[in-house]
Amino acid sequence: MVTGVTEKAWVARLAPYKRPDNRRAVFETAISVIPYLVSWFIVWAALQISFLLAVIAAIPAAGFMLRLFIIQHDCGHYALFSSRATNDWVGRVMGVFTLTPYDYWRHSHALHHASSGNLDKRGFGDIDTLTVEEYLELSPFEQLKYRLYRHPVVLFIIGPAYLFIVRHRMPYGAWKKGRTAWIGILATNLGIVAVYGLMIYLVGLHDFILTQLPIVVIGASLGVWFFYVQHQFDPTHWDRAQDWKREVSALYGSSYYDLPKPLMWMTGYIGIHHVHHLSSNVPFHRLPRIIRDYPELKDIGRLTFWQSLKCIPLALWDESSRRLISFRELGRRTGSHVAA
């Protein structure tokens, strides 16, 4: 409870902010797509000088790619445009640029919102997280696999690149999602082939690969990093199903990633994540207004950039202390070289 207001009451307070603004939606889409395309050709131009310069130029381009993902994300919540059909089609087009099949992702992300912070319903669009007890019950080989999965190089570099470049082409379990998901995945892949084919025609295969690959790898890593710190921080909030409440988990199990204003804009204000989880139908461009109108929300789950780096080692949920801990801390407790 914040300043005497219950978590459910916060949902009611945020309801007036949910109304879509079509003009603003078009504007936000335009100032995301156009700079992304311009920045892509800037990376290509930089490549003509040196690959290192191209990689440096790829950082802002990757930031705009992340902003395209936020457009897609809000369309998936039917938050950006007033028309469901417009949300869906804009989201599908964005999915071609973000390498993410929109219809399949929208369904998975809805499950994430419906289960975030529920220990008995993990595995829906989130970072795999074991409890201390679950980890200790694993065989040494299974513990090693989990530790490798949780290694920063895998979690923030190799894993994101694999997810967006390879796994999104035919997501696991897609056949269970029905005809719409299958058609969406195939259409996204065909759209990628068409767009990539045009770009290869314009700049050549060699230049295309050396331009596109750094943008995608950096953009994917940024996306997974943001998703990580939005839920994997200390103190976050998890409950078993019998005690889980969506509003409580939304407010206390999601962070407020308080970054400098240019970075907040570039990332579509998704760092105001606790507000987003409380009311996912609020368009992303209205999230800063909510923080201004209700400054008490700034103190909940707040993380600065430097504080967020301390979240990297957190890998296990300790149900006894109700907090995330690192392998090193578990090793100190148990004296186990496998855990440490």
Q: What is the pLDDT of residues 310-335, one digit of tens each?
A: 999 999 999 999 999 999 999 887 76
Please state, in angstroms and rounded to a whole number, the distance separating the CA atoms of residues 266 and 204: 29
Q: Considering only CA atoms, which of 228, 223, 231, 11 is closest in space to residue 116?
A: 231
Q: What are the domain boundaries of the chain?
A: 7-132+154-314
pLDDT at 12: 87
Which residues partner with 318 through β-bridges?
323
Structure tokens at 251: 């407010």
Residue with the larger pLDDT of the pair 126 and 262: 262
Chain mean pLDDT for the chain: 91
pLDDT for 29 equals 97
- 138-150, pLDDT tens digit by residue? 999 999 999 999 9
Q: Indicate if the alpha-carbon torsion angle 152, 72, 208, 191 is positive or negative.
A: positive
**pLDDT band, residue 171 (cuts 50/70/90):** confident
- Judge whether residue 2 has pLDDT over 80: no
β-sheet bridge partners, residue 130:
316
Q: What are the φ/ψ torsions at residue 325 (nearest 5 degrees)? A: -130, 165
- pLDDT (0 to 100) of residue 92: 96
Which pLDDT does position 340 carry in this prediction? 45
pLDDT for 338 beyond 60: no
Contacts of 317 (CB under 8 A, 6+ apart): 119, 129, 130, 131, 132, 238, 323, 324, 325
Read off the pLDDT of residues 45-95 as tens digits, 9 standing for 90 and up.
999 999 999 999 999 999 999 999 999 999 999 999 999 999 999 999 999
Provide mean pLDDT across the span 260-276. 94
Q: Does residue 284 register a pLDDT over 70?
A: yes
- Residue 150 corresponds to which tokens in the numbers above? 């949780």
**What integer pLDDT is reported at residue 126 of this predicted model?**
78
Per-residue pLDDT for 232 more than 70?
Answer: yes
Residue 182 confidence (pLDDT):
80
The average pLDDT across 101-117 equals: 89
Residue 177 tokens read as 């999602």
Q: What is the pLDDT of residues 175-215, one digit of tens each?
A: 666 677 788 889 999 999 999 999 999 999 999 999 999 99
Sequence-ordered strand ranges (E) for the chain: 130-131, 256-257, 302-303, 314-318, 323-326
User: What percent of the chain has pLDDT above 70?
Assistant: 95
> How many CB atoms sit inside 10 A of residue 11's CB?
15
Lowest-confidence segment of 87-96, 123-132, 252-261 by average pLDDT: 123-132
Instruction: Write down the pTM of the prediction.
Output: 0.91
Which residue type sits at 61? A
Q: Can you tell me the mean pLDDT for 263-276?
A: 94
Query: From the centroid of its chain, how far is CA 122?
Result: 16
What is the pLDDT at residue 179? 72
Q: What is the pLDDT of residues 212-226, one digit of tens each?
A: 999 999 999 999 999
